[in-house]
Structure 1
Amino acid sequence: MFRDTLKRLRRPLLAALLAGATALPAGAETLADAMVDAYRHSALLDQNRAVLRAADEDAAAALAALRPVLQWVAEYSYQNIEGFDGNSAGIGLQASMTLYDWGRNAIAIDIAKESVLGTRAALVGVEQDVLLGAVQAYLNVRSATEQVELQSNSVRVIGQEQQAATDRFEVGEITQTDVSQADAALAAARASLASAQGDLQIARENYRAATGKMPGKLAAPPPSPKLPATLETARDIGRRTHPLIRQAQREAAAAELGVAAAAAERNPELTGTAALTKQHSKSQNLFGGASSTTRDSASVSLSLSQTIYSGGRLPAAHRKAMAQRDSVRAALLNVSRQVDQAVGTAWAGIDVARAQIRAIDEQIVAAQQAYDGVREEATLGARTTLDVLDAEQSLLEARANKITAEANLQLAHYQLLSAMGLLTVENLKLGIPTYDPSAYYNAVQNAPFTSRQGESLDRVLRAIGKD
């Protein structure tokens, strides 16, 4: 049932994004374009992909602990004892391997794998943040552009009012006070326009930081993604799919294994060692006599050891692991609650923005009627210039508030997707190649050195470099 719910949600996401890409002027940048650019441009994603590759190597290192360690050893020594000089040189090959450790290394491998899966989930969380940042930057540029257009129109209209006031003053219909009020209103409108232009430039810079390029002509946002039927359904999706929850679950599993690993430190360890050595010795006495010997040797040994007393270190490590497990469990609960809160906040933001838009639409209609009426009455001498300017300001504020509310409504929809864990390139079906988090792991999971697996790893690294 849950998968069906995800499929029903993903189809509207694709339709909404494609709808914004149809019937657009040539060269217009869509919201989907902005998200694609952000995904490809993000250095934060590159950073966390490297963190994931480091976690993959930890898994390889844990596996390598089960394999033999082969070393060559060269040594030289000189001695002088009661007039006898002696020196020796040797070279050897030594292999050692842990034969059995009662599960210690196996637990370490499982911990490393859980860490890899948790880091993958964290990478998805970063991807969501990057895409949401692109959405916010896109909507901010759109909103700031509309505000500049609105303020520019206001300067034009108030300029006409100011010119009309000046003309009426010259024929004696109004006083200098009315002209001064119109001058002040025009100056205020120009200041608001300058502020809106500054906000637009800031929004453009934020867009460039998010996507890697300055915005061109931005298309209107696509229809808002379809919402789940109820708030509780949205929360259930968030609990199941949000990457932060999946990350916390993996960390909790690793912490549970950490307790077992701390307990396993008290177990015995069986180690095997094999060595081949070639040694040459030479000695000389006071009378010039010399002798030399060459000796080859081979040895095999087994060693079984166990810590009987550690001064309290091992019990302390065990208690620490249990405390860390309890901490991670509490963190998982806290993350789950935070996701619930984020879903509820985004849901409420959508309801609030919708209500604001409905109310502002009514306000705009009423403000427009009031403005038209006041202007007509002013031509008949029943209203002052200040009345006309006040009505114009009320209409301007209502239109500006609607621009902000519409941007907030769009943003709240994508915030809800992020809170549910669905704001990813895959779920949005943006149609671009994505980073495969398993490719590097598959290349290194068997801890290759020089082999076909090593060649495969080289190819993966080259592909990452090209990205």
Structure 2
Amino acid sequence: MLPCAITPAATGAAPVARLLPLAGLGLLAMALAGCAVGPDYATPAQFLPTNWGNAPKTNKPLEAKRLARWWTKLGDRRLDAIVERAVAGNLDVASAKARIREARATRRQAVGALFPQVDGFGSGTRSRTAAATSASGGNTTGNLFQAGFDASFELDLFGANARNVEAATFGVDAADEDLRGVLLTLIGDVATNYVEARGAQARVALARRTSASQRETERLTRTRFTAGSASALDVERAAAQAATTEAAVPTLEAAYAQSLHQLGILTGEAPTALAGILDRGGPIPAARGTPPAGIPADVLVNRPDVRRAERQLAQSTARIGQAEAALYPSISLTGNIATTALKTGDLAKNSSIGWSFGPSLSVPIFNGGELRAAVEVAQAQRDQSDAALRLSVLTALQDVENSLVNLAKERQRAGKLAAATASFREAARLSRTLYQSGAASFLDVLDAERSLYSAEDTLLQSRVAVTSNFVSLNKALGGGWDKPVAVDLPRVIDANTGPHPRAAY
């Protein structure tokens, strides 16, 4: 029942009566505008273990803020500065920021379809009518001016446009998580390459110290040979061992250069841009302690790749509803108001103005199964996204378990290597003492020195591996950048984009 009675006046009853069916149709369309087809997204359940297999058992979730800025725990200010530099200049980060701007603009495009579209037009023509076709029997010349507006509005009866906005919104969320993932990977790569660079420097220094000591041994052996207390074989063995150690230096220097160059690229600069910082040398960053692992369910919250996969699943689900809406009728409201006159001064006269308004209905009757196939395509893409989400969760669990094991076992190995190095150092000292007293052969001395160098070099590699595994564990847990990142400012700023003379090509 209408809220109030309408009693048309005698002079306007017919026009109002003609408009009533259109008004009723509009009200019905607006009532249907809240409908939607297709599945409504719900976050899928994930069946996860209650505890990690290689970490202390706990039922307390891990807060993301405890993982933030984990690299500062390595206690290396130069590393901290390089991380800041990389976040500001890395080109993968710049691409991720652009993808966020793209996703936001795509959503604004989708939202625009929910509103009416209005266009203005105007024209002016001067024409001459031939005498043969003129009613007056002579040539006539005249002007015709037109101006007006066209408007159209698609009623989103079954939620196609709303589903498109929903999908675009999920796309923005996925782009945000993509940036977080890029930052996580970037910081991990910076820390790993920095540690490897410091490790290569330490190994180069060790090789040079050892080779210098071995050359001194060679010199003393030659002196003993001249005095007749050593053989030529001892001299050649000493020279060969020193040369072998020296041969390791170029390989280690090349490894250092590769890490240096990679750090330069990660900061978005020239490969040798950080040479001034790293060439001064520095200790291998030491990882103290083990970051808390929390519970396996934390990866659903803290890992950006898992969160991105979940948002992409939501986006794919919304696309199904958008495809299904195409199977149903669509209604558009169109309107036009225009004025036509022979003189520009007459365009505003009431007698020159005309208008039209009404709905249009489109019903899909036969399309050879194209629309239904589009729904099946969207469903298959949703299933792919679902599998990708589940795989990302399993991969995250694997990453954490592997990193926990690697860090713990490498620390055990480093402890044993440290003990072995201490023993080899004492053995080298004893072998020299015994050799000088004639109780040991020169071969024993060379073997002890060679074993000591190998143990010290292996210990340095293990220290690098411990810190690298510490980095990998923090990455696996989802630790990363926690400061706001400005994404609104494009990297490329266009100038003179308005109307201007064309460039000659």
- In structure 2, C-alpha distance between the alignment counterparts of 1:435 and 1:35, rounded to whole Å: 14
Cα deviation, 1:365-391, whole Å, max 9, x if unaligned, reads 221122122222222334333332221
Query: What amino acid is the match of 2:336?
Result: A
1:116 aligns with 2:172: yes
Matching residue within 328, 339, 342 for 1:267: 328
- In structure 2, C-alpha distance between the alignment counterparts of 1:6 and 1:43, rounded to whole Å: 31
Query: What amino acid is the match of 1:344?
Result: E
- In structure 1, C-alpha distance between the alignment counterparts of 2:355 and 2:70, rounded to whole Å: 73
- In structure 2, C-alpha distance between the alignment counterparts of 1:405 and 1:398, rounded to whole Å: 10
Q: Secondary structure at the match of 1:6?
A: coil
1:300-311 to structure 2, matched below 5 A, reads 300-311=357-368
Residue of structure 1 in register with 2:103 after alignment? 55
1:299-378 to structure 2, matched below 5 A, reads 299-378=356-435
Query: What amino acid is the match of 2:221?
Result: A
- In structure 2, C-alpha distance between the alignment counterparts of 1:406 and 1:272, rounded to whole Å: 72
Q: Secondary structure at the match of 1:227?
A: coil
Contact 1:356 1:405 in 2 (8 A): yes
Residue of structure 1 in register with 2:260 after alignment? 204
Identity %: 22
Between 127-136 and 38-47, report the one with greater CA deviation: 38-47
- In structure 1, C-alpha distance between the alignment counterparts of 2:67 and 2:185, rounded to whole Å: 21
TM-score by length of 2: 0.75
Matching residue within 281, 288, 291 for 1:224: 288
Query: What amino acid is the match of 1:274?
Result: G
Contact 2:60 2:295 in 1 (8 A): no
Instruction: Measure how far apart 1:364 and its partner are.
Output: 0.6
1:53-452 to structure 2, matched below 5 A, reads 53-74=101-122, 90-211=146-267, 212=269, 213-214=273-274, 215-216=277-278, 217=280, 218=282, 221=285, 223-224=287-288, 226-228=290-292, 233=294, 235-279=296-340, 296-422=353-479, 424-426=480-482, 434-436=484-486, 440=488
Instruction: Measure how far apart 1:165 and its partner are.
Output: 0.9
- In structure 1, C-alpha distance between the alignment counterparts of 2:71 and 2:93, rounded to whole Å: 25
Contact 1:19 1:223 in 2 (8 A): yes
Contact 1:357 1:405 in 2 (8 A): yes
Distance 1:122 1:16, change over 3 A: closer
Residue of structure 1 in register with 2:36 after alignment? none
Contact 1:255 1:324 in 2 (8 A): yes
Q: Tell me which structure has the larger Cα radius of gyration.
A: 2
Q: Secondary structure at the match of 1:30?
A: helix
Cα deviation, 1:53-111, whole Å, max 9, x if unaligned, reads 10001111111001121223356887988656899664432111113432111111111
Contact 1:353 1:408 in 2 (8 A): yes
Greater helix share, 1 or 2?
Answer: 1
Instruction: Measure how far apart 1:119 and its partner are.
Output: 1.2
Distance 1:3 1:49, change over 3 A: farther
TM-score by length of 1: 0.80
- In structure 2, C-alpha distance between the alignment counterparts of 1:186 and 1:299, rounded to whole Å: 98
Between 73-82 and 183-192, report the one with greater CA deviation: 73-82
In structure 2, list runs of 5 or more residues that go unmatched: 1-49, 51-57, 344-350, 494-505
Distance 1:295 1:3, change over 3 A: farther
Instruction: Measure how far apart 1:201 and its partner are.
Output: 2.4
Give me the CA root mean square deviation: 3.0
Distance 1:140 1:340, change over 3 A: same
- In structure 1, C-alpha distance between the alignment counterparts of 2:168 and 2:262, rounded to whole Å: 38
Query: What amino acid is the match of 1:352?
Result: K
Contact 2:61 2:295 in 1 (8 A): no
- In structure 2, C-alpha distance between the alignment counterparts of 1:141 and 1:15, rounded to whole Å: 19
- In structure 1, C-alpha distance between the alignment counterparts of 2:184 and 2:398, rounded to whole Å: 17
Query: What amino acid is the match of 2:362?
Result: S
Query: What amino acid is the match of 2:388?
Result: A
- In structure 1, C-alpha distance between the alignment counterparts of 2:225 and 2:435, rounded to whole Å: 13
Residue of structure 1 in register with 2:72 after alignment? 17
Instruction: Measure how far apart 1:167 and its partner are.
Output: 0.5
Instruction: Measure how far apart 1:170 and its partner are.
Output: 0.3
Q: Secondary structure at the match of 1:308?
A: coil
Distance 1:44 1:13, change over 3 A: closer
Cα deviation, 1:438-467, whole Å, max 9, x if unaligned, reads xx5xxxxxxxxxxxxxxxxxxxx48997xx
Contact 1:182 1:385 in 2 (8 A): no
Residue of structure 2 in register with 1:24 after alignment? none
Instruction: Measure how far apart 1:195 and its partner are.
Output: 2.2
Q: Secondary structure at the match of 2:150?
A: strand
Residue of structure 2 in register with 1:429 after alignment? none
- In structure 1, C-alpha distance between the alignment counterparts of 2:111 and 2:255, rounded to whole Å: 54
Q: Secondary structure at the match of 2:62?
A: helix
- In structure 2, C-alpha distance between the alignment counterparts of 1:373 and 1:338, rounded to whole Å: 51
Query: What amino acid is the match of 2:234?
Result: D
Q: Secondary structure at the match of 2:328?
A: coil
- In structure 1, C-alpha distance between the alignment counterparts of 2:116 and 2:91, rounded to whole Å: 39
Instruction: Measure how far apart 1:220 and its partner are.
Output: 5.2
1:45 aligns with 2:93: yes
Distance 1:327 1:80, change over 3 A: farther
- In structure 1, C-alpha distance between the alignment counterparts of 2:317 and 2:68, rounded to whole Å: 38
Residue of structure 2 in register with 1:285 after alignment? none
Q: Secondary structure at the match of 1:116?
A: helix
- In structure 2, C-alpha distance between the alignment counterparts of 1:102 and 1:157, rounded to whole Å: 83
Cα deviation, 1:193-241, whole Å, max 9, x if unaligned, reads 2322222222222222223441344465264353326xxx453322332
1:34 aligns with 2:82: yes
Q: Secondary structure at the match of 2:366?
A: coil
